[in-house]
């Protein structure tokens, strides 16, 4: 199961190539920060008079597990499947986004005497 992963703006994107897999044969689960993608490539329906000469495309159940960073908002994962490509989009959590920290304190100069 070939995969790419990249950051696009404020979103972490994971893309899987799943040629020949039906949409209803894909399961996506997330538990804490463990993402599991499980797919089943089923045999094509063949007529009784077909004799297989060569079969190199693997059939069966395949899965991939990924440990996601704590900086990702796993409660808001979205998934799309089109033309044999599964795309998962995971927002980067607000707490992980870069922000400017203001410096507080007195603005006047003080002298220490002793």
Q: How many domains does the chain have?
A: 1
The answer to whether position 8 is within a domain reads: yes
pLDDT digit string (tens) for the chain, length 114 residues: 899 999 999 999 999 999 989 999 999 999 989 999 999 998 877 778 888 888 888 889 999 999 999 999 999 999 999 999 999 999 998 765 667 778 887 666 666 665
Q: Give the strands of the sheet with 3-8, arranged side by side.
A: 3-8, 11-17, 85-91, 78-82
Residue 48: C-alpha distances to residues 6, 45, 51 (Å): 45, 10, 8
| Residue 110 belongs to a domain | no
Judging by DSSP bridges, how do beta strands 78-82 and 60-67 pair with one another?
A: unpaired
Q: Answer whether residue 72 is part of any domain.
A: yes
pTM of the model as a whole: 0.76
pLDDT digits (tens, 9 = 90+) for 37-64: 999 998 877 778 888 888 888 889 999 9
| DSSP reduced 3-state for 24 | helix
CATH number, position 24: 2.60.40.790
User: By residue range, what is the domain housing residue 26?
Assistant: 3-44+54-96
């Amino acid at each position: 199961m070939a995969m790419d992963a990249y950051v696009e703006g404020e979103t972490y994107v994971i893309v899987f190539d799943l040629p020949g897999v039906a949409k209803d044969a894909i399961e996506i689960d997330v538990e804490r920060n463990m993402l599991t993608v499980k797919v089943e490539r089923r045999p094509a329906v063949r007529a009784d008079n077909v004799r297989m000469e060569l079969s190199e495309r693997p059939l069966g159940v395949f899965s991939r597990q990924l440990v996601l960073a704590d900086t990702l908002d796993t409660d808001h994962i979205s998934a799309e499947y089109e033309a044999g490509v599964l795309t998962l989009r995971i927002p980067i959590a607000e707490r992980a986004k870069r922000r400017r920290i203001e410096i507080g304190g007195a603005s006047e100069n003080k002298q220490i005497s002793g």
